[in-house]
Structure 1
C-alpha cells in the first residue's frame, strides 16, 4: 500500500456553514492516507465533534468536495507517526 500525504483545505467561502459545527477545527490539515477518499474519511473521523443522536458522521464537511479541497502535498511540519496534523500544529494520532 502506497501511503502519501494530502492537504485538506477548507474553502473560505463556506467555513461559516452550519455543517462545520460537526468538526473540531476549520483549518487546513495534512493527512497520511493511501488516496483522497481515505484522507477525507480519516479527517472526518479524527475531527468529529460529539454528534447529535442518529448522526452517523456522513455529514462531515471533510467529506464534501465543495467545502474542502484535497490535494497531494508534503506537510511543512514533522509528521512522525501521526495520522493528521493541522496548520496550527494540532496533532491527531
Structure 2
C-alpha cells in the first residue's frame, strides 16, 4: 500500500500537488513540513491518504481531483429524475 500526499487549495478548488510515497513515515514528514510552510494560509489543505493505487484515491476522494461542476454533474447522473 502506498501513501499519497495531496496539497489542495480550497478557495480555488484546485489540486496544487500530488506525490506518491512507498514509505508512510516519509509522506507524513513531508506533510508536516508543508503544513508549517503554509500555516498562514487556511485555504491550503494538506493530506496523506493510503491506498493500493492512485486510481483508488481518485475514486474515493474525487473532490481533490474534479471541479465542483464535475462533481455535481456526476451526482445528477447517479440520481436521474424519475
User: Please, what TM-score do these two structures have when normalized by structure 1?
Assistant: 0.32
Indicate the structure (1 or 2) with the bigger Cα radius of gyration. Answer: 2
Higher helix share: 2
TM-score under structure 2 length normalisation? 0.36
